[in-house]
């Protein structure tokens, strides 16, 4: 059985019902989901030039199909809680897991 490998996708999201757009897949491959999640803040801070209201990181298993994400699915940092399984701002310590 091959070990699981995780990749990090960078998504640009607007507001409302518009689908988020895949902007990049980070070249680094991660051995665990935890390692991928730990790297999200650094990766997003490097992408401060992207022209989207919301830029999020998504850690997912390599080869897994991406699940659609819409701007309305992203909880803003003012919400003050971390919803499980939703995309968030890594720069604020929030992320999306593909579990």
Domain locations along the chain = 6-97
**Around Cβ 95, how many Cβ atoms within 10 Å?**
24
Report the chain's mean pLDDT, rounded to a whole number: 75
Task: Indicate the pTM of the whole model.
Answer: 0.73
pLDDT at 43 over 70: yes
Q: Does pLDDT of 22 surpass 50? A: yes
Token readout for 82 is: 């971390």
Would you state the pLDDT for residue 21?
92
Residue 95: per-residue pLDDT? 43
Q: Cα(44)–Cα(10) distance, rounded to whole angstroms?
A: 8
pLDDT for the residue 73: 76
Of residues 1 and 23, more confidence is placed in 23
Strands (E), 1-99: 6-13, 21-25, 54-61, 96-97
């Amino acid at each position: 059985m091959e070990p699981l490998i995780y990749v990090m996708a960078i998504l640009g999201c607007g507001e409302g019902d518009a689908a988020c757009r895949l902007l990049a897949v980070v070249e680094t491959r991660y051995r665990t989901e935890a390692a991928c999640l730990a790297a999200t803040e650094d990766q997003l801070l490097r992408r401060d030039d992207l022209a989207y209201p919301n830029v999020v990181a998504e850690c997912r298993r390599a080869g897994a199909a991406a699940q659609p994400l819409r701007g309305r699915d992203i909880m803003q940092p003012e919400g003050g809680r971390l919803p499980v399984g939703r995309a968030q701002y890594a720069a604020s310590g929030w992320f999306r897991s593909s579990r």
